[in-house]
Amino acid sequence: MPCFVHFIPFDPHILTPQDLDLLQAIFDEQFKARGLKCDCDEAKALAPKLVELFQAGVRETNQLQDMMKAA
């Protein structure tokens, strides 16, 4: 881990590359499972909801997947 990371205060609104990879995987899974088209309203709302949950502190993959299934 780079040294500078230790000096940056934790901010839940900052997404790391690993966070984005996780969110992308969950988004892709939900997109496919729901059979969505790229331009539909549900698809457009999916990513912001996922990021909102993540930034609110939901960080576990299984928990995010379960909450997105219910959304």
pLDDT of residue 71: 78
Residue written as tokens 């590359």?
17
pLDDT of residue 8: 55
pTM of structure? 0.78
9-13, 41-45, 58-62: lowest mean pLDDT where? 9-13
Going from N- to C-terminal start, the domains of the chain cover 15-70
If one compares 61 and 14, the residue with the highest pLDDT of the two is 61
For residue 46, pLDDT over 80 is answered with yes
The pLDDT confidence band at residue 67, using thresholds 50, 70 and 90, is very high
Q: Cα angle at 8 between 50 and 68, to 5 degrees?
A: 10
